[in-house]
Structure 1
Amino acid sequence: MGFADKFVASLQSSNLMDDAFHHDLDAIAAAALAGDLGSLLCRVKYADGTVNKLFEGNSSNLVHLLRIWEVEVTKKGRSRGWVRIQSERDVYTAHHLYRRVAAASLAYWLDGKCKDCNGTGIASRSLRTCRACAGVGEAEVTCAGGFERERVKDMISELKAIATSHEWRARRLLA
């Protein structure tokens, strides 16, 4: 059972006891103690109804995460020189690019599964490899242009790295 599965199972816990037989809330505690942006990513993706639609999540977490992610993307975009700032129009262009990249990358990271096969990689009717995703299970990143698409892919990999690092620290606390 992976960390995400333990986290979702902890959310459905009916027992708040913490003894030798009950460890239901350990994954939530480990996620909270591991801290940083990864904690909020984990909470939004797994706890706020994205995976388990049995309850309504806290939408303010998603809004807060988007604001934080926009700031992070802006920092990364400036440091990597995505847009050369030479005029006022360039500032405006850069600002909108950073916002679009942040929103698109976060949306894809939260639900980047192929819509045709629901992320399985197998077409349901023919039991063959899904043509839309070529059996990978992930949807294609769609954006207005190639430049923006590459930046979105870059930020998706950053989100995956942050989440993986957070899960690793949380697992270490669980052990």
Structure 2
Amino acid sequence: MTGIYDFQADSLSGNPVDLAKYQGKVLLIVNTASQCGFTPQYKGLEELHKQFAARGFEVLGFPCNQFGQQEPGNASDISAFCERNYGVSFPMFSKIDVNGDNAHPLYKYLKQAAPGLLGTQGIKWNFTKFLIGKDGSVHERYAPTTKPEELASDIEKLLAV
């Protein structure tokens, strides 16, 4: 595997999606949860998605239940929650693990390509964000505490390339 376009993930509805479908776009990949202190970031993620989508930007949400069991719902629960509370229109994928032996291969790649603070690879909590350039390379990893609106200038720079 050489880049994110080599991976596949299941959509929230269970259909396989080749990430190559997003080739040439700037992406923000985020592990999400419905019952997390950072859950209100869905609003900011949706705003980024709407602000930049026409210019080739997508947010990709990956629900995860590994942190405090904060994403206990099934796919239809997650979909209904995101739509009802935040009007999420960006692509959401099936619930995955981001750490451990069962971590999704995409997240194994992302963690290796952009280690966290002090070189740690593990995802620390929900709403860790990875910004991906148009060429599929990992540009930056952001902590859960980084608000989506703080990423706008970095997204602008990658869209301009």
Give the TM-score normalised by the residue count of structure 1.
0.25
- Greater strand proportion: 2
- Greater helix proportion: 1
Give the TM-score normalised by the residue count of structure 2.
0.26
Q: Which has the larger radius of gyration?
A: 1
